[in-house]
Amino acid sequence: MIENKVLFQNKIKFIVVHCSDTSDDLTAIDIHKMHLNFGWDGIGYHKIICKNGNIENGRPEFWVGAHVFSKNNKSLGVCLIGKNNFTKKQYLSLEKVLINWKKKYPNAIIKGHRDVTETKKTCPNFDVIKWCQDREIS
């Protein structure tokens, strides 16, 4: 059992921060429905952070995500609801999620979606690497 946990922990190479690029009143259920309409197996992110700072569960961590092309099988995804006007509560919750995941997956590198793969997307519309450095999350 412990060997399986270690294998899973070593499998996670990236923690990827996203934004929904949608209206501000969405929840994990709304994202789940949207992703089902894309033909996916449901919500692609592992955590959703609502505008009020609530952290909602998406896919379980052991389930491969659907959030970053070619990296899903070795990453976890967290999504901030909104486009770029994130709240202080969202940032505090993001910090909490990232610190928790870094404890569980110490070898994982935290990046924004735009930084983890070649894409024209600007998601999550802020510099995650610098934001983490400023908070000493690494």
> Which of the following is catalytic: 32, 47, 113, 132?
113
35 is catalytic: no
> Which of the following is catalytic: 18, 35, 47, 51?
18
121 is catalytic: yes
Q: Which of 113, 132, 28 is nearest to 71 (CA)?
A: 113
79 is catalytic: no
> Which of the following is catalytic: 45, 79, 105, 111?
45
Q: Which of 64, 95, 91, 96 is nearest to 77 (CA)?
A: 64
A 10 A CB-CB count for 88 gives 8
105 is catalytic: no
Number of helical (H) and strand (E) elements in the chain, helices listed first:
5, 5
46 is catalytic: no
A 10 A CB-CB count for 76 gives 27
Dihedral of CA 67/68/70/76: which sign?
negative
> Which of the following is catalytic: 19, 50, 79, 123?
123
> Which of the following is catalytic: 13, 96, 104, 121?
121
Active site residues: 18, 45, 113, 121, 123
